[in-house]
Structure 1
Amino acid sequence: MASSPTSPGFAHEHASGSHNYDKKKMKMGDDVNSNSFSALSGHPGSGGSLEEGQVREDNGDDDEEGEGEWMQVDKRKEKKVKKQASKAVMNPPRFFYSSTEIKKRKEAITIPEIRDLVLNLVADAPAPTWLRIENPRSIQKVLILLIPGLTPSLLSLPTPTLSATESPFLPLPVPASTPSFPFISTFMHALPTIAPGESTKMHSVMNTFFSGPVSGEEKKRRILERISQERNMSSDPSQYCMTVEQMIENDYPVPSYLADVFTPPSDDWVQIPLAKYVGPKRAKIYALDCEMCETEDGRELTSICILDYSTAEVIYREFVKPSKPIIDYLTRFSGITAAHLESTTTTLFTVQQFLSSLLSPSSPSSSLEEGEEYADTPTPILLGHSLESDLRALRILHPRCIDTSVIFHHPRGPPLKPGLAWLTKKWLGREIQNRGEGGHDPEEDARACMDLLRRKVDGGVGFGTFKTDVESIFVRMGRSRSAGEGVKSAVVDHGNPSGWYGAKASTCVACKNDEDVVRGVEDMIGGHRFVWGRMVELADALGWTTSRDKDAPPPSTLTSTTIPHPNRTKETNPFTAGTTSTPPNPFSTSSSDPLITPSSTQAPISSSSASVPSPDLEAVISRTNAHLQKIYAALPSRTALILFTGHSDPRAMSELNARRGKFEREMRFGSLSNSNSQSRPNGNSEDGGGAGGRKVYEKDGGIGESRRPLKSSPSKLKAQNLNVDGGNGEESVRWTSEDGRKLEEETMKARKGLLFLALKP
C-alpha cells in the first residue's frame, strides 16, 4: 500500500522505504507503517559524563586547585551508552501496525491497550503485540489527547471492510486531503477502537484509561500488607482515621500543625487542636452531615446534624441562617425550603462554637503546638461521607476524621469513590436518599455513616474494599525509574481534574474551554514526560454532552490555572453518568463517570440531521483543527502524539437506556404492589398498583379484558413485549424485544472509536 501524501512539514515513509532493515528481526511485509520519519533533530543525553562515568579518588589531603587524582571506570559501559545515543540519533523512532496480529483479533483495540501503550512508552509496561515500536528509547515525551466527536464521516475515512476474509479492525488509510479537517493528514492511518462496556452499556473511557492492573511486584506487596492488617485486626474504630497523606489526597482542609498545605481563604476558620494523650481511653466519635444552599456568596451551611457514635442519639441538629441571601435552596438535594429557615437564629459562628467545645482537648494547654501537658481524653473523631465538603462548609480544620468514602471502596477501585446511598444499600441492606424532590435528610445520612463504620469494625480492615488490584497510571509512572526518578506527568482538562482522576499526577491544569487546554498543553509539555489533554467543544457542538440540570448544584467558579501537588482544590466533574438505571449509582458526586451523554431535552436523533453540519458546528470543527495544529507546532522533537476519540455518538443508546430504566422502575413498583401489598409504602390496596393507581401488565395480544398483572422480573424483559400504564393521565411506557435489540445495536455503534499515532520529527 503506497504512502498517503502528507501535509507540509511532515515526512512519511513506508516500512519498505529507503532504510535497510534486518528482515530476520522485523517482518516488514506483515507490518503497516503508521508514521515514520527519515531523521529526527536533537540529540539524546550522551551519557558517560564525569558524574556518571568517573569517580574522584580522595587521597586524604586537603584539595587545592589542580590537586587530586582522577580514575576512569567502566569504559565499556560509557561506550555502550554513547553507542546507544548515537544509534538513537541515526535511527529515529517509528511506529508500525502489525497487520498479522490485528487480523487475529476478535475485537478492535481497547482502551486498556491504549493505556498500556502509554505505560510502555513512559514506564514499565510490556510492549504491545499489535504495534511494533522501533527505537522506543529515543521517544522523549508522550502527549495523549482525547477528542470525542472526530467521526469517520467528518474525517472522510473509508468504511471498514465487511468482507468475511478481511478483518474490520485493520488500520484505515487517512486521505491525503481532508478539507473539513486538514490536521488529520498528520497521521497516515486511523485504527478502530472499542470503548469498555457491555451489550447494553458503555462504561467510562476515562476511568478505564486512568486505572489499570498493578504490576506483579506491587500485587505481591499488597498481599503481604493485607495479611499484616488481618493479623493486627483491632476493634478500635480509630484505626480508620485518615492519615495526613489521605487527607491531602482527598482535598481535606488540613490543620497547619499536621502539614503546611492549606491556607484558609478567610479569617473565620476554626482550627481544632490535637490532644497529646497517652492512655487506654478510646476517642469519642461523632457522625456528622451538613446540607448547603446556594447564596450570593456561594454555597453556605443551612443544616447540620451530629450523632454520638456510642449512644446512636442525636446530640445536635439545627437549621443555620446563612450570612448572604439565598438564591437557590437546592431543595431536591438539601431538603431545605424557605419555611425551614424562616425563624432560625443559628449562625455559622454558633455552630463553630458548639463544635469547638465538643472537639477540643480536655486541657487547653495540651495541643501539639504547646506540647507541655497531656489531655485527659483523646481528641474526638469526626465521621462522615466525603467529609471534606462538610468541613469546608463549617470552615473547620480537624485533625482526626473517618471518611466512609475512603474506608469503603468503589467496585471498580480507586480513584472512583462509592456513593453513600449505594454503600448503605450494599452493606446495610436499606435504602436512603429516596425522598425524591424532598432532598436528603442529614440525620439519615449521618446514621448511615455510623452504621457503616460499625460494619467495618466488625468485618475487619478488608471488609468492603473489593480486591480489584488496580491503581492510577500516575502511581505506576511514579514508581518508574527510567531516568533516575519517577515520570513527571500532567493532566490538562476541563473542570478541575486534581480532585478527580488527576489527583496522583505531578501537575494539574484546570480549564474552562478548549483554548485553555491548548495553552495548558503548551505550558506543560516542556517540563513533563507525559501529558494528558481533553477537548470537548466538538462533542458539545454535536449535542453529545449533557447540559447541567437547572436544579442541580452549580459548580464553583473555575479558573484556568496550574495547581501544584499536593495543595489542590476539588471540582465536581461536569459530565454525568447516564447509561445505567439500576442499582443506585455507586459514584459519588466528586468522581462521577465522565461518559458523555445527551441532554434529555434534545430532539430525537435522525441520520439526516447529523450529516449536514450547522454553521456553528463548522466553526467549532475549524477551531478544533486549529487547536491541534497549534499544539503540534509546540511539541518538542521525538514526542509521541496519541489522539483517540474514545467513542461515537452515544445519544441513541442513552435515550433507549433511559426509557428502559423508566420502564423497569415502573414495572418493579407495580410488581411489588401486586405481589406484596404490605411491602408497598403509602398504600394497602391489593390491586392499586402503587401511587397514582399505576399497574403493570403483560401484553397478551393487546390491551383489553385479556391483560393480566405482570409476574416477571426485569431480567426477562428481552423476551417480552411489555407496557406500563402510567396512571394519572401519564403516557404509558413501552419496552419490546425489538427495543432490546435496537439498544444492543446502538450500544455497539456508540462504543466504536478511532486511534491515531504520530511522532514529531
Structure 2
Amino acid sequence: MTKPKRRRSSVQSLSATRKKKFLVPPTIKYDPNYARKKISVSDLRDLILHMLCESYLNIPPPTWCTVTNRAQIQHVVFLFVPGLQPRHFGHTDFVKTVSPQRVAPPCEPREDMPFFRATFDTVWPVVAPGSKETLFSSMHALTNVPLTKKEKDKLKRDPASTKRLVLPDLLMTHGQMTANEYPIHSEMGPEGPKAHGWVETVKFFHEGSHTFALDCEMCLSASGKVLTRISLVDFNDKVLIDEYVKPAEPIVDYLTRYSGISEAILANVTTTLADVQQLLLRTISADDVLIGHSLESDLNVLKVTHPRIIDTSIVYEHVRGPPAKASLKHLASKYLNREIQNNGIHGHSSVEDSQACMDLVKLKLVSGDAFGRNVSDISLFKKLHSDKKRPNRSLVLDGSSVRAGAPTSAETRVRVACDDELVSELLANIEKYDFVLGKLRDIEYASNSPEGVAFDKDLFHEKIAALDARLSALYASLPNDTALLICSGNGDVTDLVRIQNQKRDFQRENEPKRWDEVKDVWNQQHLEALKRATETARDAVFFMTMKSDGSLPESSPSPVDSRESSLTMLMDNKAGSSLSIDEVVIGE
C-alpha cells in the first residue's frame, strides 16, 4: 500500500514563503503613468522612512511607488545634486508635468551623462518647497519630519519640558562649540588658537555679576571683518563696557546700515583691539558665564577664548532646525515683544543686542527646556533612530550647510571639502550606517557665475562629465541591496536670484524715502516675473534605483524580464489597454 503524501502544514508553508522572500532582493515598483499630483521633497523623505523603518512609525506608505522586501534593504543613500535640470535628460522643463518621464539624450550633446541613461529608466518631476514668490530649503524639507498631534501632546505633558532651568543647563558643550566654529579655551581642549594676538580669560575672584552678555559691531577691511564697537552688560542689563574701537588696518566698507559705524564716529577714537582685550580680561573670569547670539563671530574678531558660553542662536531653535539659526531680531520680536535693529540706515546697537540676549536667557530659565524649541517636527535622523526594531544610524556629508561635530547615537556629521572627498568618505563609511545623506556641489558652482563674469560653458561641461563618472564609480562600489536616490533639490535659480536681488536693492534704496520721493516702482510686471522665476526654481528632478546582484531563487521568475522593453511598452501605450499591470520594477 502506498503511503499517502504528507500535506505541508500552514506553519511550514509560511516558513518556506518567508525563506523564499528573504532570498528575493528588494525592489522599487512604480506606475509610469502616475498622474495624481507632483511628488514633493517631503514625499521623498517619507520614502526614506518607509524603506528603513520596520515598525512604521506612523508613516503611511508612498502612493506613487511600492517598495517590496523593504526589510532586505541594507542602506539608503540620498544625494542632493543641485544643478541637474530637465534639459540634461531630454526635456525642456517639468513645471506643468506630474508623471515620470523617460530619460532621453540631453538637449545639449555635450551635457550627456551615460551613467544616468544606463542606470535610470525615468526621471521624476519634483516640486521643491516654497511659495509663489520664494524657494525654501529642500535640505530642511527632507531632514525634518512633522510630529503627530499625539507626539506633540506627549512633549507638552513631559514634566521635564517645563521644569525651571539654571545657567549651567544652557552652557555649550565642547562638541557644540567645535561644531559652531568657536575658538576653544585651553580649559576645554588643546586645540585652541595659539597664534599671536589671541588671549584667553583666566580665573579670578571679583565682586558683582558673574553673568555677562556681549555683542560687537564690525566693519570690513581688506583682510575681513574688524572690530569697531564692543558692548558688555551684566545680569541686570547694566552697561559695563561700551567702547568704539580703532582697527589697525584701513576700513574698506563701514557697513553702516548694519554696524551703525561711520568714518566720522571713528575719527577721534584711539582705543585698540589690545585695549579691549585687556579690559575684558579684567572684567570676566574664566568661571563666569558669557552670553551672546552666534557669539563665535564676536570672539573670533576679538581674538578671545572663553570656556563657559550660552549662545541664544542655539538655545532658541530655528523653525527649520539646525544648521539654520534664527536672527536675534526675530527672537526679540517673537519672545520679548521687543523691536530691535530697527534704526534703518543708522544700523544696529550692540548695547541693545547684548541686552536682548541677556533677557532671552532669563526668559528661557524660567520657562523651561521646551520653551524656544521647535516642537512641530523632529529630525529625520532622530526619527530613523527611534525605530525600535531597527534603530538606524545616519551619516551626513556636506561642505557648506553641515557643521561637523561630535557624533550622536542617531547621526554623525562630517564636513567635506569637495565632491571627490564626499564620495570617498561615503564609500569608506557606508557599512557603519543605514542612511547616508550628501550634497554634490560641483555643477551648481560651475553653473552660478559671479556677477559680471560670463558663464563658462566648457567648465560646466567638464563638471557634468566628472559628475557622471563620479556617480558611476560610486554606484559600482555600493553594497548590494542599497537604494540610491538622487535629487536636484531645486531647478534653475538664476532668474529668481537676479529678480530677488533687484527687489532687495529697490527696497533698500527707497526705505528711507517718503512715498512721493520714490522714482521707480515695483509693479505687477515685476511680480509676475518673480512668480515665473520661482516656478522654474522649484522645478526639481529625482532618480531612484536599487543596487542588487540580481540573484533570485530558481523557482522565482524575475518580476520584469527587461526593464527597458517593459518601460518602452508602457510609455508608448498611454492608454495601457494591452497591459494588465501598469508598473515598472527598479532593481537589477
Do both share a fold (TM > 0.5)?
A: yes
Relative to structure 1, is the Cα distance of residues 175 and 645 closer, same or farther in structure 2, using a 3 angstrom cutoff?
same
Cα deviation for residue 288 of structure 1 reads 0.6
Q: Identify which of 191, 194, 199 aligns with 1:266.
A: 194
**Which letter maps to 1:624?**
L
**Which letter maps to 1:309?**
F
Q: Identify which of 441, 452, 464 aligns with 1:621.
A: 464
Instruction: Please tell me whether residue 354 in structure 1 is matched to residue 279 in structure 2.
Output: yes
Rounded to whole Å, the distance in 2 between the matches of 1:286 and 1:476 is 37
Checking the alignment, whether the CA contact within 8 Å between 1:635 and 1:760 is kept in structure 2 is yes
Counterpart mapping for 1:534-683 below 5 A: 534-543=439-448, 547=450, 614-660=457-503, 669=511
Count how many residue pairs are aligned between Structure 1 and Structure 2.
524
Relative to structure 1, is the Cα distance of residues 695 and 632 closer, same or farther in structure 2, using a 3 angstrom cutoff?
same
Aligned to 1:137: 71
Aligned to 1:175: 104
How big is each residue's C-alpha offset from its partner over 1:628-650, in whole Å with a ceiling of 9 and x where there is no partner?
Answer: 22222232222211011122112
Checking the alignment, whether the CA contact within 8 Å between 2:402 and 2:413 is kept in structure 1 is no
Cα deviation for residue 141 of structure 1 reads 1.8
Larger Rg: 1
Paired residue secondary structure (1:153): helix
Cα deviation for residue 407 of structure 1 reads 3.1
Paired residue secondary structure (2:384): helix
Cα deviation for residue 114 of structure 1 reads 0.8
Paired residue secondary structure (2:473): helix
Relative to structure 1, is the Cα distance of residues 659 and 733 closer, same or farther in structure 2, using a 3 angstrom cutoff?
farther
Counterpart mapping for 1:14-93 below 5 A: 87-88=21-22, 90-93=23-26
Cα deviation for residue 400 of structure 1 reads 3.5
**RMSD, aligned α-carbons:** 4.3
Cα deviation for residue 339 of structure 1 reads 7.4
Checking the alignment, whether the CA contact within 8 Å between 1:329 and 1:337 is kept in structure 2 is no
Rounded to whole Å, the distance in 1 between the matches of 2:186 and 2:378 is 29
Cα deviation for residue 96 of structure 1 reads 0.6
Checking the alignment, whether the CA contact within 8 Å between 1:291 and 1:301 is kept in structure 2 is yes
Relative to structure 1, is the Cα distance of residues 726 and 160 closer, same or farther in structure 2, using a 3 angstrom cutoff?
closer
Checking the alignment, whether the CA contact within 8 Å between 1:414 and 1:471 is kept in structure 2 is no
Cα deviation for residue 506 of structure 1 reads 1.1
Same amino acid, percent of matched pairs: 29
How big is each residue's C-alpha offset from its partner over 1:205-231, in whole Å with a ceiling of 9 and x where there is no partner?
Answer: 112222222478864552233x4443x
**Which letter maps to 1:206?**
M
How big is each residue's C-alpha offset from its partner over 1:136-171, in whole Å with a ceiling of 9 and x where there is no partner?
Answer: 222222221111222222211487697xxxxx4222
TM-score normalised according to structure 2 size: 0.74
Rounded to whole Å, the distance in 2 between the matches of 1:463 and 1:507 is 25
Cα deviation for residue 306 of structure 1 reads 0.9
Rounded to whole Å, the distance in 2 between the matches of 1:526 and 1:617 is 33
Instruction: Please tell me whether residue 497 in structure 1 is matched to residue 402 in structure 2.
Output: yes
Cα deviation for residue 175 of structure 1 reads 3.1
After TM superposition, the structure 1 stretch with the greater mean CA deviation from structure 2, 242-251 or 393-402, is 242-251
Rounded to whole Å, the distance in 1 between the matches of 2:121 and 2:250 is 56
**Which letter maps to 2:45?**
R
Q: Identify which of 515, 534, 539 aligns with 1:695.
A: 515
How big is each residue's C-alpha offset from its partner over 1:247-274, in whole Å with a ceiling of 9 and x where there is no partner?
Answer: 56655456566x65x6213175425459
Counterpart mapping for 1:132-281 below 5 A: 132-157=66-91, 168-175=97-104, 180-185=112-117, 186-214=119-147, 219=152, 221-225=154-158, 227-230=159-162, 232-233=163-164, 240-242=170-172, 247=177, 250-253=180-183, 263-266=191-194, 268-273=198-203
**Which letter maps to 1:495?**
S
Checking the alignment, whether the CA contact within 8 Å between 1:308 and 1:314 is kept in structure 2 is yes
Cα deviation for residue 449 of structure 1 reads 2.1
Aligned to 2:521: 733
Rounded to whole Å, the distance in 2 between the matches of 1:382 and 1:109 is 46
**Which letter maps to 1:476?**
K
**Which letter maps to 1:91?**
V
Paired residue secondary structure (2:486): strand
Rounded to whole Å, the distance in 2 between the matches of 1:228 and 1:645 is 41
Relative to structure 1, is the Cα distance of residues 473 and 658 closer, same or farther in structure 2, using a 3 angstrom cutoff?
same
Q: Which runs of 5+ in 2 are unaligned?
A: 1-10, 549-588
Cα deviation for residue 289 of structure 1 reads 1.1
How big is each residue's C-alpha offset from its partner over 1:30-63, in whole Å with a ceiling of 9 and x where there is no partner?
Answer: xxxxxxxxxxxxxxxxxxxxxxxxxxxxxxxxxx
How big is each residue's C-alpha offset from its partner over 1:168-222, in whole Å with a ceiling of 9 and x where there is no partner?
Answer: 4222122389952212111011111111111222211112222222478864552
Rounded to whole Å, the distance in 2 between the matches of 1:303 and 1:636 is 55
Rounded to whole Å, the distance in 2 between the matches of 1:206 and 1:534 is 9
Q: Which runs of 5+ in 1 are unaligned?
A: 1-75, 163-167, 362-378, 548-598, 604-608, 670-689, 697-724
Checking the alignment, whether the CA contact within 8 Å between 2:294 and 2:311 is kept in structure 1 is yes
**Which letter maps to 1:285?**
T
Relative to structure 1, is the Cα distance of residues 194 and 355 closer, same or farther in structure 2, using a 3 angstrom cutoff?
same
Q: Identify which of 538, 553, 562 aligns with 1:751.
A: 538
Checking the alignment, whether the CA contact within 8 Å between 1:211 and 1:472 is kept in structure 2 is yes
**Which letter maps to 2:536?**
K
Cα deviation for residue 108 of structure 1 reads 0.9
Paired residue secondary structure (1:154): helix
**Which letter maps to 1:542?**
S
Aligned to 1:472: 379
Rounded to whole Å, the distance in 1 between the matches of 2:143 and 2:453 is 31
Cα deviation for residue 480 of structure 1 reads 4.0
Instruction: Please tell me whether residue 304 in structure 1 is matched to residue 230 in structure 2.
Output: yes
Checking the alignment, whether the CA contact within 8 Å between 2:483 and 2:544 is kept in structure 1 is yes
Aligned to 2:339: 430
Cα deviation for residue 660 of structure 1 reads 4.6
Checking the alignment, whether the CA contact within 8 Å between 2:490 and 2:538 is kept in structure 1 is yes
Aligned to 1:565: none
**Which letter maps to 1:417?**
K
Relative to structure 1, is the Cα distance of residues 140 and 272 closer, same or farther in structure 2, using a 3 angstrom cutoff?
farther
Instruction: Please tell me whether residue 523 in structure 1 is matched to residue 428 in structure 2.
Output: yes
TM-score normalised according to structure 1 size: 0.59
Aligned to 1:508: 414
Relative to structure 1, is the Cα distance of residues 161 and 198 closer, same or farther in structure 2, using a 3 angstrom cutoff?
closer
Checking the alignment, whether the CA contact within 8 Å between 2:95 and 2:536 is kept in structure 1 is no
Cα deviation for residue 296 of structure 1 reads 8.4
Relative to structure 1, is the Cα distance of residues 250 and 509 closer, same or farther in structure 2, using a 3 angstrom cutoff?
closer
Checking the alignment, whether the CA contact within 8 Å between 1:491 and 1:507 is kept in structure 2 is yes
**Which letter maps to 2:297?**
S
**Which letter maps to 2:480?**
S
Checking the alignment, whether the CA contact within 8 Å between 1:415 and 1:501 is kept in structure 2 is no
Rounded to whole Å, the distance in 2 between the matches of 1:664 and 1:496 is 28
Cα deviation for residue 320 of structure 1 reads 5.0
Instruction: Please tell me whether residue 461 in structure 1 is matched to residue 368 in structure 2.
Output: yes
Paired residue secondary structure (1:647): coil
Aligned to 1:288: 214
Relative to structure 1, is the Cα distance of residues 524 and 92 closer, same or farther in structure 2, using a 3 angstrom cutoff?
same
**Which letter maps to 2:192?**
P
Q: Identify which of 386, 389, 392 aligns with 2:297.
A: 389
Aligned to 2:586: none
